[in-house]
Amino acid sequence: GAVVSQHPSRVICKSGTSVKIECRSLDFQATTMFWYRQFPKQSLMLMATSNEGSKATYEQGVEKDKFLINHASLTLSTLTVTSAHPEDSSFYICSASGRGKETQYFGPGTRLLVL
């Protein structure tokens, strides 16, 4: 099956710093990548959808200037949390969908803790 990786798996940072999370499709070309956020004991909530080479589409209520998404290639998307604050602490999960396919393959997630 298709494999999606995320790096780092866990990150701790100070308030005010920026953190970049990478999402890679290892064995297929991902036309579309998705970023989700999961609060404790909650289900996943879609933050944004990105297509390779174009700007991301953000869900309502998600600040695009705070959560910068770049999908520069068919195998890599990055999420940068800018000027992170403690309330940004959460579990961030990406998924990827290949050309002509609609099934999403999920990465293992990145746990962010902002002190």
What is the C-alpha separation between 77 and 52, in angstroms, rounded? 8
What is the C-alpha separation between 58 and 56, in angstroms, rounded? 6
Instruction: Report in angstroms how near the CB of residue 14 gets to another protein at its nearest.
Output: 21
Residue 25 backbone dihedrals phi, psi, to 5 degrees: -95, 120
Q: Which of 7, 20, 66, 111 binds another protein (CB under 8 A)?
A: 111
Residue 97 is encoded by which pair of tokens?
């969908």
Q: Which of 9, 17, 18, 29 binds another protein (CB under 8 A)?
A: 9
Choose between 6 and 78: whose C-beta lies nearer to another protein. Answer: 6
Q: Which of 23, 24, 28, 32 binds another protein (CB under 8 A)?
A: 32
